[in-house]
Structure formats: C-alpha cells, structure tokens
Chains A and B, each alone.
Chain A
Amino acid sequence: MLLQLNNIFKWVNSGGQRIFLLKDINLDVEEGEFISVMGPSGSGKSTLLNVIGMLDTFDEGEYNFLHECVHTLKEKHRANLYKEYIGFVFQSYHLLDDLTVQENLEMPLLYKKFKGSERKAMVADMLDRFNIVGKKDLFPVQLSGGQQQLVGVARALIANPKLILADEPTGNLNSQQSEEIMQLFKKLNEEDGVTIIQVTHSEKNAAYGSRIINLLDGRKV
C-alpha cells in the first residue's frame, strides 16, 4: 500500500455557507498503479491531487502515506516526505525560464543535497534517457510545448520518486505531443514501476491508466 485516504473532507467558508471542495473521499493506491482522475471543472480534481501531493491541507479525515500519518505530521516532516517520494508534472510545465534544460533538471537535486558529481551523473542519465542531450543548454522558451513537458517529466523523475502526480499534463499540448507523453507515462509505469496519478479531461488519456476515479462536486462517483 502506497497511500490511503480515509474520509477526507476539505471545505471553505464563503458568505456564511460551507462549500465542500472534497467530500468524504476514500482512496487506496497500491504501488505500481496508474490512476486517472476525471470530472468536470470545479469537481475537485486538482484539489485532490494537491492533497495527495501534500501541497494543500485538508480539514477532516486521515491520510497515510507509506505508513506515515500525514495528517499528524509537522510541516517539516511532511516536506521531507514529499520531497523524497513524490514528483510533480504540471499542465503549463512550470520550468524556470531563467535556467537551461540542464539546470532545470539539476535544481531538485540541489535541494536534496546531492554532491556535484552525483548531480552531474543523474542529470546526464536523465538527458540520455529522454533523448534530449542536444537540448541541454537551451532555455525553455526555445523548446516546443511537447519538449518542455518532456523536461517537466524528466525533472519530476530525476530524484527517483515512488509517485508521480500529473495535473492535466497534456492540457497545453497537441494530439501528437499528448500521445508521446502518455506513451512515456505508460512506459514508466510498466517498465520502471512508478506509480502515477493523473488528472485529465480526455477519455483517451484516461484509458492509458489502470483505474479511473470520477469526481463530481468533490465527491467520488
């Protein structure tokens, strides 16, 4: 068992009313799963992803990640936890414009206190694996959307996380680029055993996964 959500609630108070963003969510994720989260806009997909990624808190319920109780952990421990085990991929890539491809890949390693030589080896390995060695000195603006997302995925993977959280990773891409990224996810999941949870609007993309979770108004349906 990689992670487990039990009766998770999240709400905001607006105009004297309590609006539920997540309502009684229960979810078990085993290692090696590839899950797609679907639902209309505002159904709580991203919120759920953020909660799983520990970027956001919740108001009620229990969250266990690798047998640690996330809901009782202090901020610092929580940060250590997601730093070590979780990688993020975003719809708009979120690469740092002022850094080259190589430097973008290196950045997570800096915060994880890897040595210079180790970092170099890991970055080189990643560049190689994703076939982007020739682009290592380019800045994000010099790349196509698909290539940027490729770098985004590579950055998420570089520290060998157990879980990849992808928030509409193909939302800004054309169909061919989408196809490539999804193939990549599939390969990572099947060959390397990386657990993936993705948010998507596309039935086609969802079909790559092993399981689909549908959300509506913060509720699992």
Chain B
Amino acid sequence: MFKNYLKITWRNLVRNKSFSVLNILGLSIGLAVTGLILLWVNFEVGFDQFHEKKDRIYQVYNKYNVDGEIWTWNSTPKVMASVIEKDYPEVEEVSRYFYENTFLFSQGDKNIKSNGTIVDPSFLEIFSFPLIEGNIKTVLEDVNSLVVTETFAEKMFGNQPAVGQVVKMDNADTFKVTGVLKDLPNNTEFNFEYLIPWAYLKQKGYDDKNWSNNSIATYILLKEGTNYTAFSEKIETLREAYDKEAPDMVTYLYPHTRTHLYSEFENGVEVGGLIDIIRLFMIIAIIVLIIACINFMNLSTARSEKRAKEVGVRKVVGARKKALVWQFLGESVLISLLAAVVALAVIVLALPSFSTLIDTELRIDWSNPLFWGVTLSIILFTGLLAGSYPALYLSAFKPSAVLKGTFNKINTLVTPRKILVIVQFSVAIILITATIVVKEQISSVQNRKLGYNKEHLIYVQIEGDVEKNYASIKSELLDGGIASSISKTNSPITESWSNSWNIEWPGKSPDNKTLVHRMPADDAIVKTMGLQIKEGRDFDLKKYPTDSTAIILNESAVTLMGFDDPLNQIIKDNGLDWHVIGVVEDFVFNSPFQKIEPMVFEGAKAWFNMVHIKFNADNSIASNLASTEKIFKKYNPNYPFNYDFVDQDYAKKFVGEQRFKNLASLFTVLIILISCLGLFGLASYMAQNRIKEIGVRKVLGASVSGITTLLSKDFLKLVGISLLIAIPISWYAMNQYLQDFAYRIELSWWMFGLAGLLALFIAFITVSYQAIKAAKSNPAKSLRTE
C-alpha cells in the first residue's frame, strides 16, 4: 500500500514537472529561511551554556537609586571579592575579571599584540575553559605567570612548546608561560588570548580598596545546594558595613547564563535584550514557513480537478476517506522531505554569506542528534501542516460527482484560497514597507549634519614611547607638511569614553545629575576636527599657556548650564578650575541616531589616549600614511604602527542598522518570491478553469486585452484588500521601531503607497502572464473539450 502511494506520488511529481518545481521550490525557500534563522537562534541561545557549573555561576551587579530611578550596572569595586570570600560561606569560588586590554608581547625580535585580561586563579575553576597544558591549581599561582590560548602560543612561539617560554609585556615586565588553554569557542561573552594572575596587579599597586571605583567584573560560584533566592536576599546588604559613600547600594547576583540574552535593565527590572530580537526572528521564521505552507495548499488544491478522478476511482474500488487523507498527507510529507533536501543544500551554500550578513560565524553541527531531530520534526510539521487542507479537501470528493464529469466546484473552493493569498500579500506589503522605512531612516541619519570634518582624519593610540616623544612627532608631522593639524585627545572623536554628573558650574542646582561628556584635548582641537566655532577661540598653547586649564563647550552644554555669556565662566571638574574660552556648534560624537548630549573639551591638563592627525590634503593619503608610519616607527620603534580613519569609524556606527535593513530586504524578497510562486500557480489554475468562459466571450467578440483585464482584476482586488490590512499594521510597527531613535524620520503616506504599488505591480506581472496566455487561446479548441 505504502509502495503504491509512493509510486503515485513520485509519478505525479515527475509528470507535472512545472507544478512540482513550483511547489518544492516554494517550500524549500521557506524551509531554508527557517533553517538559517534557527541556526542563528541556536547559536545565540547557546552562548556561555557550555560551562559545566553554569547553573551556579553568577555575576555581581549593583542596583542604586539615583533620582528616584534604579540604575543597574555590572561593574564592581576590586575589593568586593575579598569581602564576599570572607563573609559568605555559601560561595565556593569568587574571581575578579579586569577589563580586557590589548598589550604588546615580545620575545627577541618577535612582537605580537594580544587581547586579554587579569583574573583571580579561581577563574579557571568557575568557568569551563579547559587547559591543554598546565595544572589548573597552579597555573596562575606565580605573580609573573601567564596562561595563553593555542592561537597566542602559535602566533608567538610557532611550533615550539609554549610552556616555560618567557615573554615581555609592553617592554616592561617579563612573564613565564605556565599553561595553554584551548581556544575559546565563539559563543562566549569572554574574549581573551591571555590571562595574568591578579597578584600581578596587586604587585603593581593597582589593586585599590576604593568602594566607589566600580570598574571590574566579579563572578561567583555558589556551593552546590545553595538556595539562590535566600542567598541573594542575604547578599543585598553587602555594602552596609564597608562602603561609606553608598552603604545602601544593593548588591545583586545575576545568573551568568542570562547575560547574553537578557541583561538589559530598566529601573532595576530585567526588561529583555537580545532575546527580543530572537523572538522577532522566530516569529519571522514561523511566518515564512506558514506562508510557504499556504503556497503548498494553494497549489495542491488548485490541481484538485486532476486529482479528483483519482479520489473517485479509489473510493469506488473501496478506499475509505481516512486512507485517502493519509495518502495525501504522506504525499505532502514526501514533498516536504524533498524540499528539505533542497533547503539543506541552499543553507549550506548560503551559510557563509548569511554569516557575513549577521556578523556571526554560524556552522551546522552534522553530528548533533538535536540537529537531525529538529530537522525531521520540521519536515514532518511542514508536511502535515501544508498537506492538511489539501488532504481533507481532496478526500472529501464524492465519487458519484467527480466520475460523471459534473465536477465543477470552482466557486465554493475559491474563498479559502483567496484568504490565503490575502495573508501572503499582507505580510509581503508589511515587509516592503519596513524595508523602505528602515532605508529612509538610515539615509536620513547618514545625511545628518555631522558638525566636524571626518575626511583626511586619522587617530593613533598613544602607547609605548609616543607620549615621551610627542613633541618631536608633532613637529615632524607639521613641519614636514604631512599634517595640517594634530591634537591629543582622550578618545576617538567618534566616541565618548568619559562622562560625569559631578562637573560643576555657576548656578548648578545640587540635585542636577545630568551626565556631561568629557573629551579632553590638548591643542588645536577645533582646527584638527574642523569644528565650527560659535564664540571664542580654539586651544592655542603656544600663544596662551593657560589654555592647559581652558575648556571649550558644545552648544548643548551651554544650554544645560544656562550661560548667557559663556566665555570666561569657571567650570569645576576633577578638582581643577577650567575657564571657558570657546563654544562650538553641536557635533555628532556618539550614536548618530540619538540626540547630541552636552559635552566639554577639557584642556591639556587632562589625560590622553589618542592622537588625532589631520592630513595635509595636498598629498595623497597613501603618501601621508607612509610618512606618518616612518615617523612613528622612528620614535616608537617597538610598536607596530596602527591607525584608524575617522570616516571609516563613523561608517561603522551604521553597521547595526544596515544589517537590519539588509535582513529585512532579504526576507522581503524571499517572501515576495514565495508569494508569487503561489499566485502564479493559482492564476494558471484560474485560467484553466475559465477556459470555456473565455472561449464563449471570445466567440461573442471580447478582445485579448479585455479578457486579460477580466482575469487579472480578481487577483489585483485581493492585493488591494491585503494593502488595506497591511497599512495599519505596518504603520503601527514602524512607528514603534522609530521610537528607538531620537533622530528619526516622519512616516509618510508615500512609503505605504510605494509598497502598495510595488506589490500590485509584482502581482500584476505574475498574473498577467497566465491571463494573456489564456486570452490568446483558440476558442474553437477550448469549447470543443466540453
């Protein structure tokens, strides 16, 4: 029996090649999209889930009431770990994690830059980062021990054994490699190639006991069997006995397994995070799959007339309805299996580009039983879902009707299919609108007035001997005609690394806790960046030595501070009095999607990490770069010359939104494609069914164009209804999306109009092919068949 079904199904597929291709193609596109999304979701959900003790690992967070709003953040004082160890016996291990830093490691002539951090020895006990070489108990015991990853070892030592090697860090201290770690998997929040013991930091005198310096991460491992709820209540008041400034700050334990997906807090309450995007994409995956299934139903029922005879014959020779339902379900499961094979091939081929698109390295774990389990369930689910309607519909045919040739139920069966088409096109229109809106939003922000000149501008990190030789570097760059201007700054112009609510100005109310960004700069900042001066002047240390304590404000800062005459006002910060010498127009320094916040340039007395160099535009960038490299190599010989272009940096601020746009476009195109496959099939069915009507009309004198219009009209009406459904939904959704941006476009009717026109156009192209074909057919032929 099964063999008989299989034979029928297979011959059916082969005999109706175009139909089969439409059907399998539509379904496989849907399956491929779902598969790709599921692979990504699986990757994100698996983040940091590989730690054996993951259920007992927590990160220490703080919650603090600032102006009636509870702020939540995850950095802690360095001293907190020792208090936890001393006062809380429920804790098995505790480890601090210093912020990740890039340092230069050298051995002989070999230099490599590597990213890593400083941890307590217990770090390797808490987290499952397995050692290939070295003893977990002792690798981080010695002050100058160094644990590195395989990649680090290979880069630094090649094929030599790593353990026992001695390397120099930043040309200062020497470290001895004591252990080699397996490279970190790419689904972990951590990112390090080397680990240094905390003892080193202590020896260097950086291990402060300041409770208000919240700068590092603290992780704890609870003892087995500890009740989290009870313990978290107990630890809440940790600071009471130690922290003089903020004894009421709440210490809060956050499960480490939630960090990647959640960890967004609003007023002290977890409000989601990446999980929201994952949910959105899961919904998209389900919608795409359902649309593909709808397609399948549409195409299958459209061919019902062909199958009707088979149903009739089978019933007459004794088949029960149930047997037929199973036959058709089995058939659709088989088709979905074929589609899944095609989809898998598509996924394998598309995976590299998709990985690039979402900037996440995805792979398929072929040996994972879960993968096959999920794949098989999706095939089964799709097959049953897609086959359910055709199976019930087809198996219900009455043999006495279908076998006598009186079978003509066109009108009764059209309604459910109309609804299916409307659903498909509603989704397509919503996605087209989303693509248009996101594209408009991005390009509007890209065209936003920047407020500074990002061309010919690079920045270089101050490291090694740069600080020591800065004067020489500066004069060689300027005198050599390589740079037109140069300025040291705290951070790249595209980012703000420092802010405070403690900056004071005349007339500031004591409970004003507005954050003001600081961007210290030493000299000629306005000239280097090409900022627009509104009042006053640039830093000029040569002419005015007192400019080392001068300050330049942006317009938003002036507004915040309420100055009518900002020049020469005194602003207090970090124990210094800064006098205002200039005001610049607002410029974009953080996200271009948000509003510009108050910021100040503090003068040369502040601290610096970067040098910004404005190249002389008369030379080519390549020659400027080459000359600059030569100078840096001369004065800072141990470090490779690394630089960044400000304009490229700025472009990176759009990566996230661009990615969103690209994904939206991709899904839009695919959904339209699937919908069109369905529409095409339906149109061909309609044309076939009305062939007699068309014949009669032609005999009575109807023109080809008249008939084409007649046939297309019905479908375009459906698209029109979809438009009515889609517009309010997409208006609401896009409005919500835009709320996230302070700098945003207004929704306009043309965006919906364009989406609608596009949908109508695509539908018309799809349908009219069949309509014209039908309209051109010879009436004598079509009428004879009856």
* Nearest chain B CB to A81 CB, angstrom units: 11
B323 and A96 contact, CB distance less than 8 A: no
Q: Known: A90-B403, A94-B403, A98-B11. Is A112-B318 also a contact (CB below 8 A)? A: yes
Taking CB atoms, residues of chain B closer than 8 Å to A213 are none
Q: Known: A55-B400, A94-B403. Is A111-B7 also a contact (CB below 8 A)? A: no
Taking CB atoms, residues of chain B closer than 8 Å to A98 are 7-8, 11-12, 15, 310
B319 within 8 A of A: yes
Stretch at the interface among A62-70, A100-108, A129-137: A100-108
B404-446 CB mask vs A (1 if < 8 Å, else 0) is 1100000000000000000000000000000000000000000
B297-334 CB mask vs A (1 if < 8 Å, else 0) is 00000000000011011101111100100000000000
A8 within 8 A of B: no
Taking CB atoms, residues of chain A closer than 8 Å to B398 are 55
Taking CB atoms, residues of chain A closer than 8 Å to B403 are 90, 94
Report the Cα distance A155→B316, complex, angstroms.
11
A27 within 8 A of B: no
* Nearest chain A CB to B6 CB, angstrom units: 11
Q: Known: A55-B399, A98-B11, A108-B318. Is A103-B4 also a contact (CB below 8 A)? A: yes
Taking CB atoms, residues of chain B closer than 8 Å to A108 are 317-318
B1 within 8 A of A: yes
A79 and B309 contact, CB distance less than 8 A: no
A46 within 8 A of B: yes
B310 and A96 contact, CB distance less than 8 A: yes
Taking CB atoms, residues of chain A closer than 8 Å to B310 are 96, 98
Report the Cα distance A98→B398, complex, angstroms.
21
Which residue on B lies nearest to A92, using beta carbons? B405
Within 8 A of B (CB), among A3-56: 46, 50, 53, 55-56
A1 within 8 A of B: no
A73 within 8 A of B: no
Taking CB atoms, residues of chain A closer than 8 Å to B313 are 94-96
Taking CB atoms, residues of chain B closer than 8 Å to A106 are 4
A207 within 8 A of B: no
User: How many pairs of residues, A versus B, come closer than 8 Å at their CB atoms?
Assistant: 59
Taking CB atoms, residues of chain B closer than 8 Å to A90 are 403
Report the Cα distance A191→B399, complex, angstroms.
31
Within 8 A of A (CB), among B375-412: 398-400, 403-405
Taking CB atoms, residues of chain A closer than 8 Å to B400 are 50, 55-56
Within 8 A of A (CB), among B1-33: 1, 4, 7-8, 11-12, 15
Taking CB atoms, residues of chain A closer than 8 Å to B316 are 53, 55, 88, 94
* Nearest chain B CB to A197 CB, angstrom units: 15
A94 and B4 contact, CB distance less than 8 A: no
Taking CB atoms, residues of chain B closer than 8 Å to A79 are 318, 320
Within 8 A of A (CB), among B109-128: none
CB-contact partner of B317 in A50, A76, A103, A155, under 8 A: A155
A94 and B312 contact, CB distance less than 8 A: yes
Within 8 A of B (CB), among A157-173: 159, 167
Report the Cα distance A107→B318, complex, angstroms.
9
Which residue on B lies nearest to A165, using beta carbons? B316
Taking CB atoms, residues of chain B closer than 8 Å to A107 are 4, 314, 317
Which residue on A lies nearest to B323, using beta carbons? A111
A124 within 8 A of B: no
* Nearest chain A CB to B405 CB, angstrom units: 8
* Nearest chain A CB to B487 CB, angstrom units: 80
CB-contact partner of B318 in A76, A97, A111, under 8 A: A111
Taking CB atoms, residues of chain B closer than 8 Å to A155 are 317
Which residue on B lies nearest to A98, using beta carbons? B11
A110 within 8 A of B: yes
Which residue on A lies nearest to B312, using beta carbons? A94
A99 within 8 A of B: yes
Report the Cα distance A142→B5, complex, angstroms.
22
Which residue on A lies nearest to B306, using beta carbons? A97
Quick one: which of B310, B316, B323 has the most chain A CB within 10 A?
B316
Report the Cα distance A124→B641, complex, angstroms.
88
B309 and A83 contact, CB distance less than 8 A: no
Which residue on A lies nearest to B4, using beta carbons? A110
B442-454 CB mask vs A (1 if < 8 Å, else 0) is 0000000000000
Quick one: which of A50, A98, A107, A159 has the most chain B CB within 10 A?
A98
Quick one: which of B309, B313, B323, B398 has the most chain A CB within 10 A?
B313
Report the Cα distance A108→B4, complex, angstroms.
11
Which residue on A lies nearest to B12, using beta carbons? A98
A83 and B7 contact, CB distance less than 8 A: no
A111 and B12 contact, CB distance less than 8 A: no
* Nearest chain B CB to A72 CB, angstrom units: 20
Within 8 A of A (CB), among B510-533: none
Which residue on A lies nearest to B320, using beta carbons? A79
Taking CB atoms, residues of chain B closer than 8 Å to A92 are 405
A110 and B1 contact, CB distance less than 8 A: yes
Taking CB atoms, residues of chain B closer than 8 Å to A159 are 318
Report the Cα distance A83→B323, complex, angstroms.
14
* Nearest chain B CB to A62 CB, angstrom units: 20
Report the Cα distance A47→B320, complex, angstroms.
22
A96 and B318 contact, CB distance less than 8 A: no
Report the Cα distance A82→B319, complex, angstroms.
11
Report the Cα distance A150→B310, complex, angstroms.
19
Taking CB atoms, residues of chain B closer than 8 Å to A82 are 318
Which residue on B lies nearest to A79, using beta carbons? B320
Report the Cα distance A56→B310, complex, angstroms.
18
* Nearest chain B CB to A145 CB, angstrom units: 16
B119-161 CB mask vs A (1 if < 8 Å, else 0) is 0000000000000000000000000000000000000000000
* Nearest chain A CB to B363 CB, angstrom units: 41
B8 and A99 contact, CB distance less than 8 A: yes
Report the Cα distance A76→B404, complex, angstroms.
23
Q: Known: A46-B404, A55-B400, A56-B400. Is A111-B319 also a contact (CB below 8 A)? A: yes
B314 and A103 contact, CB distance less than 8 A: no
Taking CB atoms, residues of chain B closer than 8 Å to A95 are 313
Which residue on A lies nearest to B8, using beta carbons? A98
Report the Cα distance A112→B404, complex, angstroms.
24
Which residue on A lies nearest to B309, using beta carbons? A94
Taking CB atoms, residues of chain A closer than 8 Å to B11 are 98-99
Report the Cα distance A181→B725, complex, angstroms.
60
Report the Cα distance A90→B309, complex, angstroms.
12
Report the Cα distance A98→B320, complex, angstroms.
20
* Nearest chain B CB to A137 CB, angstrom units: 13
Which residue on B lies nearest to A156, using beta carbons? B317
Report the Cα distance A95→B560, complex, angstroms.
88
* Nearest chain B CB to A203 CB, angstrom units: 23
* Nearest chain B CB to A142 CB, angstrom units: 14
Report the Cα distance A95→B403, complex, angstroms.
11
Report the Cα distance A97→B306, complex, angstroms.
10
* Nearest chain B CB to A51 CB, angstrom units: 9
Which residue on A lies nearest to B5, using beta carbons? A110
* Nearest chain B CB to A161 CB, angstrom units: 10
Taking CB atoms, residues of chain B closer than 8 Å to A111 are 314, 317-320, 323
Q: A82-B318, A90-B403 are in contact. List 20 more A-B contacts (CB 8 A).
A: A46-B404, A55-B400, A56-B400, A88-B317, A94-B316, A94-B403, A95-B313, A96-B310, A98-B8, A98-B11, A98-B12, A98-B310, A99-B4, A103-B4, A107-B314, A107-B317, A111-B317, A112-B318, A159-B318, A167-B404
Q: What are 6 A-B contacts with C-beta separation under 8 Å?
A: A83-B317, A96-B309, A98-B11, A110-B1, A111-B317, A111-B320
Closest 8 pairs (CB-CB, A-B): A108-B317, A111-B318, A83-B318, A98-B11, A55-B400, A50-B400, A56-B400, A110-B1
